[in-house]
Every structure is written in C-alpha cells, then in structure tokens.
A and B are shown apart, each in its own frame.
Chain A
Amino acid sequence: MSRISTRFEQLRAAHRTALIPFITAGDPRPETTVELMHAMVAAGADLIELGVPFSDPIADGPVIQRATERALARGVSLGDVLEMVRCFRERDTDTPVVAMGYLNPIEVMGYGRFARAAAAAGLDGVLIVDVPPEEGHELVRPLKHEGIDLVYLLAPTSTEQRIERIGEVASGFVYYVSVKGVTGAANLDADEVAAKVETIRARIPLPVGVGFGIKDGETAARVAAVADAVIVGSAIVRQIEALAETPEAIPSTIGDFIAELRGAIDAADVAANRPEQVTS
C-alpha cells in the first residue's frame, strides 16, 4: 500500500480529516524548504504538496505565480525539488509528499527518468495540472511501475461521466477544485462543495481532498465537515511572501498557522463524530 493510502487509512480509523498544506519548493530560497516541511508536519500537516516551479503557471493566481518567480530566480529545477524530497525523507519516512506542477519540466526530463528519480527520492504522488487522463497514457505507465500515485483534479465543471473517467486512472486521492478560477481565488460556497463531494464519493472510491479558496480556520472547518482532506495553498504562500526577506522566521510562523488550521479541523471532526447527538 502506498504511503498516501496508508496515511488516509490511519486518519479514517481515527475519524480525522487530513490537512494538506501546499508550498512552492524553493520559495523564497531553496535552503528553507526542507526545514519548513518538517515544521509543518510537527504542527499537524498530514501530507505535503510541493509545488514544482514552472515559468508559465496558467492555473495559478498572483500569489503562487510570485512564489514561482522567486523560486525560479534561485534557479530551482525539477531535479532540485526531488533532491529536497530526498533530504526530507532522511528524517521523515511517514509523511506522504505529492509534487504538484505542470507537464513541461517532466516532459523535458523524460517520463521514465522522472518516475525512477521520483521513486528513488521518496516522492509518493504527482499532480500535473495540465495533463487530463486523455493525454496521460505515456506518463501513467512509468509512474505506476514505480508505485507513484497519480492525483487528479476535479472541477465544478466536471460532469458525472468525467468524474467516472478520472476515477479509472486516479490513485491515492482526488483533489476537488472548489471554485472556478485560479489558485487563491474567491470564496468557496460550502453547500455547493458538499453536494459535489457527495457526487464524487458516489463514483470514486478514493479520499476526496478539497482546495482553492480556503483561507483560515473557519473555512478549513467548513470544508473538513464534508471532505476527507483540506488543502491550503495561497493562504500559506502569502505568509511566506511577507517573510521573504527574513526566511529564518518562516518555519515557526507557518507552523503556527498550520497549528491554527489543525485546531479548527480537529474541532470540526469532533463535532461531526459526536455520536447520536440531537442537534436542536
């Protein structure tokens, strides 16, 4: 069983919702990333999404675009990101890490070479924003061969047929994009999200994570009530940006924010699991 599946199984047994923070690898400088990953785990992160910088991030809003530019200014490559994962694994062999990014850096490295290097580094999954299942055939084979999970996005515009199609290829978990828009976009509608998550659950037997538009403890708690995982990106990256000139303060500041989100999610989980309570 993959590290991702193991982690979700443990959480399910404990009636807990996963917290998945996203950071851009190498932002604001490469030396910060591994330490920050450990700090986030210590503060309550269950899985880490590591953004692979790409020059043309068409699905990202301004906050993550700027993070990408900071990392690229430091020359961070896909190979460097895998090296960060390898370093992280020296001290943490339990927390799953998913690389999130765009196809071209992987295309240029070569699919087979990437899959082998990723497995060797201890990467658990990849989410490639611009590769729908129809274009992924050549990529899926080497990744599956190396035991790396393929995480796919689902959107408000995904039809039921489409959800089933993605269910055929996805593994680990699926990531529901809660709003039409780029990362860091407008507020999510909790009722709409709840309905869509139910539709997805009825068709895909994998945990469902929800991301885009989760800014604080309150929105995290609302999403925790309906999803298996709460994914937070821009709200974290914005705080990293504010500390770009004093990077030594980043791990503790972000750790505090993760702990706040964790507390809100745990409270929501406890409320949801209180057995047979009459609500009125």
Chain B
Amino acid sequence: MATDVDSTRPLNPRTASQGYDDLPDADGHFGPYGGSFVPETLVYALDELREAYARLRNDAAFCAELEADLRDYVGRPSSLYHAARWSRELGGAQIYLKREDLNHTGAHKVNNTIGQALLARRMGKTRIIAETGAGQHGVATATVAARLGLECVVYMGEVDVARQEANVYRMRLLGAKVVPVKSGSRTLKDAMNEAMRDWVTNVDNTFYIIGTVAGPHPYPMMVRDFQTVIGREARAQMLERTGRLPDALVACVGGGSNAIGLFHAFLNDTAVAIYGVEAGGDGIASGRHAAPLCAGTPGVLHGNRTYLMEDANGQITETHSISAGLDYPGVGPEHAWLKDSGRVRYDAVTDAEVIDAFHQLTRTEGIIPALESSHALAYVQKIAPGMRPDQSILVNLSGRGDKDMHTVAKLDGLTL
C-alpha cells in the first residue's frame, strides 16, 4: 500500500511493522484505520474516557470487581460444547461451540456493558446511553444500568423496533427509555447517529456505552479488551478438552465485537485459520447485503476510518440483512486492519444459508441460535465437510435465538 494524498486515502506508513499485540497506537490507529474523527465537543469527553480507562484497566480493585461480576452475574466462564451430532451430520471436522448464548441476557454483549458501566460509575456519570440493532446490546445495557441504578436511554432504529419488539419490551421492563430513530435508513447506523447527538448534548453527565468495536478511540480498543475474555477462556478450554488448538475459528462480523473477542487470543497462533463471516443478505452480487469487508471501500464514519458500504460520492449506502444485529454499513477498524494484513479471512453468507444453518443446529443439537450467530454456523456448514474428523472448528455461538422467533416464524408464514 502506498501513500498518495492525491489519488488515494492517507495510509499510515507504520502499517507493516505493527504487531497484533501493540495495536492500536496511542491515538487509536490500527495501521491506517481507527482514529478519532469526532466533533470538537466530544474531544474532551473522549480524553476523559481514555484517561479513566487507562487508569482503571490495570487497577486491581476494578479488575477484581469486573471479574466477580462476570462470574456471579454473567455466569462465566461460558461453556465449551462439542456439537458431536451436528459434526457427524456434516461429516468432517469436530465442531466446538463457545456458548456465549448462555450468558445472562443471552449474548456476548453483556461482557462489554458490565465493563463500561463499572467504568461509568467510577467516572461519576449518572446517565447511560446506547445504540442497538437487534436489541441485544440495548438489553445488556438496560440490564447493567438497572443493577447500578443509572438512568438509561437506548436509541433504536424504527425498522428494528418493529422487527425486535420482544427486546424492546425487555428494555422497557428493565426501566430503560427506548427511543425509536426515524432518520435515514432507520436501522443501527441511524441509532448510532442519534446516540452521538445525545452525547454531544449531554456530555457532562452521560456515558455512551458503544456496543461494538467501532466508534472513536478508545472504544474499539476498550470494547475489544472487555470481549477478549471469550477467546482467552475458549483457548484454555480447547487445550484442556482436546489437548491442542483448534484448526479454525469462525465468528460472525457486524461491528465485530464477538469476533474480535474470540479471535484476539489466537492471533499469534499462526497455525489456526481464522474466518470472519459477514451478512451477505441476498448475495454480494445483488448489492443487498451488509458486508463492507467483502464488498466495501475505506472511509470515515462514526468516529473511525474503516471499510464502509458507500457510494462513489462518499454517501453511506443502505444495508440489508435478515439479522438486525449485522445490519450496519461499517465494521470495527481492527477488522479492517486484520483483513488487509491477511491474518483473518472475511467471507459472507446469504440470508437463505443462514436460515438453513439456524434450523440445522436447532434440530441436531437442541440449541436455538441467534440469526447473527447463525451466519457463523452457515459458514461452518461450508467448510466443515472439507476437513478431516480429527480436525476441529471453534465457533462463537454469540447469542441465543429467542429474540428471532418472530422473524423466523414469518418466513414459515406464521404470525406469533
């Protein structure tokens, strides 16, 4: 990659020498990606957050509090499950599921919201805001806000409010105010726009809990740090169970927090193949998808430089996915960097493949997966048969599918 301000986007010359463990740099850059592209009003808030996080991430009392909450409230460590029947049916590699769906609130999202909410309390913030797509991050945020007695406002695109009404009700039960966002495409990206507008306005008392590894520095780093517990646990569990590392990792990628959480502990294990699976919607060729790493170009949105779904004039384009949680035109900047570096291979699966995998796992293992996680499962269905039975695939089962009953039932012509 060459630096040429005249014809291409600026690229950071340090790119080649940066290793996986020392990213991002002090200003939040992962090679040319990441950074902090925000209005001036938020600069102070981000400085304050960066300083507080830098102080607390190595603070023994804070870490002990977080660890106790992850154990007693979330239920960690989450189990590692050998999906023996599904593996046999696919006729190839042994498939292991990292059961983040068994966490309190039913997804990996709570690993991060617990961490950020504890941070918010230490910083003296009394009001929490969040954006949500499928509602999993909104529920996880409303949950920790209820527990800590913090005011909570969740922004959610109007389209998503309609397709995830059970989660909307859960958030309201937990005492959160859910604000339907009517601007733009009325999905996750617009919810994030509105949350940032709220933050600019209420910056003094408000902590913005971003749900994925995107946004301005330090969010991509901080959310990753809170989610890496997934991969640390899974790596030790695989070694204990099988005596070796898995041959491949698979996780779905929207913003990419469950994926980075699984991948990070394995990045230096070069024998482990790593696959990130984006939402292919109706297929990449159709243009109706949400796969910026597979089919997008670099740009700047929501405070960071990353791969985006955008048109030739730099306008962000509408995305499509059957899963609200992956219906986002950007992706965390660390994934952009991992794509360019070649360490992770990013691919996409279609809505139809996702639904098939959803049913397969449900019927062979008695586990109903979230539609987001079903993207990873659909990819497993593609690669497992080509592998040997003595090989293994570790999949992040990032969430459970209860919230998706309406969507799946509708495909079967039923209304619940």
Contact = CB atoms under 8 A, between A and B. Distances in A.
A132 B200 contact: no
A107 B303 contact: no
A182 B200 contact: yes
B139 to A, nearest CB: 24
A155 interface: yes
A243 interface: no
B41 interface: yes
Nearest to A130: B37
Contacts of B41: 59, 153, 155-157, 177, 180-181
Given A132-B40, A157-B43, A113 B300 contact: no
B18 interface: no
B154 interface: no
A78 B312 CA distance: 11
A79 interface: yes
A104 B310 contact: yes
Nearest to B46: A132
B361 interface: no
Given A107-B314, A108-B310, A132 B36 contact: yes
Interface in A223-251: none
A188 to B, nearest CB: 14
A105 B312 CA distance: 9
B39 A59 contact: yes
Interface residue range, chain A: 35 or more
A130 B183 CA distance: 20
B189 interface: yes
Interface stretch (B3-11, B85-93, B225-233): B3-11
A135 interface: yes
Interface in B186-230: 189-190, 193, 196-197, 200-204
Interface string B1-38: 00001111110000000000000000100000001111
A105 B313 contact: yes
Contacts, number: 141
Contacts of A177: 40-41
A78 B40 contact: no
Interface string A125-138: 00001111011011
Given A130-B37, A134-B36, A55 B316 contact: yes
Q: Which of A105, A107, A137 has the most CB of B within 10 A?
A: A107
Given A104-B316, A106-B314, A129-B39, A56 B302 contact: yes
B198 to A, nearest CB: 9
Interface string A79-118: 1000000000000000000000011111111111100000
A98 to B, nearest CB: 16
Interface residues of B, number: 45
A182 B183 CA distance: 15
Contacts of B299: 104, 107-108
A181 B200 CA distance: 5
Q: Which of B189, B301, B303 has the most CB of A within 10 A?
A: B301
A108 B7 contact: no
Contacts of B200: 58-59, 180-182
B174 interface: no
B45 A135 contact: no
Interface string B54-70: 00000000000000000
A108 B203 contact: no
B362 interface: no
Contacts of A8: none
5 contacts: A104-B310, A132-B36, A132-B38, A158-B40, A182-B201
Interface of A: 53-62, 65, 69, 72, 77-79, 102-113, 129-132, 134-135, 137-139, 141-142, 152-159, 162, 166, 177, 180-182, 185
Rank and list the top 7 A-B pairs by shortest CB-CB distance, nearest first.
A112-B6, A108-B314, A105-B314, A138-B10, A157-B44, A77-B313, A155-B41
Given A54-B315, A56-B316, A131-B37, 6 more contacts: A77-B315, A104-B308, A105-B313, A108-B314, A112-B7, A135-B37
